Amino acid sequence: MSVIKTEKIVKIYNSKHLPVKALKGVDIEIEKGEFTAIVGPSGSGKTTLLNIIGGLDKPTEGKVFIDNEEITQLTDSKLIDFRLKNIGFVFQSYNLIPVLTAKENVSFIMLLQKKSQKEMDQRAEELLNEVGLSDKFNVRPNKLSGGQQQRVAVARALASRPKFILADEPTANLDTESAFNLLDIMARLNKEENITLIFSTHDQRVIERARRVITLVDGEVSSDEHFDR
C-alpha cells in the first residue's frame, strides 16, 4: 500500500518572460520503507517534486496524499504541524543554525514540538552518537567539516521520529568518504527502522544504493526502476 501518492502534479513558475512548466502531470506512488532516488538532468524537476511532496511548495495543479491525507488541501498552519510530526528534511546546504551547537541544532525541532528538556537532551545525544559525533555535542557548525555538518543535519531530521525523510542532493557538497559514511547511516536507518527515504540526486553514489530510481526528464517521469539491494 502506498504511503505517498501524487496525482497529476503540475508546477508552473511565472518568470518575467515566459511561464516555465517545471512538472507536467507527475504520478508516482511510494510504499512504506522504500529507499527511492529521484534523478534526472539539471532542470528536470527533481527538487520541485521533492519540495511539493514535503509540503514546502504547492503544485499549480494536482494532489499529494501522505498516509491518505491530502496535504495539498491543508491550511498553512496545519501543513506546518503535519511536516513537524511526519517529515524530516535534509538539505544540500545543511541549513544548520550557526549560533547553536550540534546538540542544540538536533534539539531544535523537538523544542518546536514542546518536548521536555530531558527528552530533548537524551534524544539529541543518542542521535549524535548514532551518526558518529559523540565528541561534537557542544561544537558549533563553523567548527565542523562538511561531512560532520551533514551528519548533524541527518540527526536533526531524525529527531522528531519522522515517518519519512526527504533529502535534496544531500551528498552534493561532500567528499567521497563523507558521502559513503552518510549513505551507510541512511541505508542502515532505512533497513533497521523502516524509515521511508526519498532523495533527489544526480550523485551516482546515491543512485547505486537506492532500491528504486525514478528518472525525470523535462518535468515528466521517463522511467521507474526497482532494484533488489
Q: Which CATH number fits domain 2-226: 3.40.630.30, 3.30.310.50, 3.40.50.300, 3.30.413.10?
A: 3.40.50.300
Domain ranges of the chain: 2-226
Cβ contact 152:133 at 8 Å: yes
Task: Give pLDDT tens digits along the chain (229 positions).
Answer: 789 999 999 999 987 778 889 999 999 999 999 999 999 998 899 999 999 999 999 999 999 999 999 999 999 999 999 998 899 999 888 889 999 999 999 999 899 888 999 999 999 999 999 888 999 999 999 999 998 998 999 999 989 889 899 999 888 888 888 888 889 888 888 888 889 999 999 899 999 999 999 999 999 999 999 998 7
**What is the structure's pLDDT at 32?**
94
Cβ contact 220:25 at 8 Å: yes
17: CB partners within 8 A, 6+ apart: none
Give the HSE-up count for residue 153: Cα atoms under 13 Å, Cβ half-sphere: 26
**What is the structure's pLDDT at 212?**
96
Q: How far is residue 164's CA from residue 171's CA, in Å, rounded to a whole number?
A: 18
143: CB partners within 8 A, 6+ apart: none
148: CB partners within 8 A, 6+ apart: 133, 136
